[in-house]
Amino acid sequence: MKKISLKPWQRYVLVFLLLLAINGFLRWISPGEEWKDGNLLVNLVATAVLTAGFIAGDRVRLKNKKYKDKVEELLKNNE
């Protein structure tokens, strides 16, 4: 099976949509009436904040991966 690779912006949009769906579902099944507030703006802002955290973490991960690959290549050359 061929591995699907997404561009970073596609990955971020997918994460945003998944987080929005999870947020809506959790608010829908919650027992408290104050959580069942159907305010889309609140859900969008909360999801945007979570997605921003994911983007920041992903950028750090990609930057560290680049340096890790470079260090591994240098270690292989020194053997």
**pLDDT, tens digit, 9 for 90 and up, residues 44-62:** 999 999 999 999 999 998 8
Whether 25 maps to a domain, the answer reads: yes
Whether 65 is in a domain gets the answer yes
Higher pLDDT, residue 57 or 34 = 57
When divided into structural domains, the chain yields a total of: 1
Domain contains 22: yes
Question: Tokens 């340096």 appear where?
Answer: 67
Task: Report yes or no on 3 lying in a domain.
Answer: no
Residue 31 lies in a domain: yes
Q: Give domain status of residue 33, yes or no.
A: yes
For the question of whether the overall pTM of this predicted structure is more than 0.85, the answer is no
Instruction: Give me the domain span that covers residue 13.
Output: 8-78
In a domain, 13, yes or no: yes
Whole-angstrom distance, CA of residue 67 vs CA of residue 65: 5
pLDDT at 79: 65
Q: Rg (Cα) of the chain, in Å, rounded? A: 19
Domain assignment of residue 50, yes or no: yes
Average pLDDT over residues 35-46: 81
pLDDT at 34 over 80: no
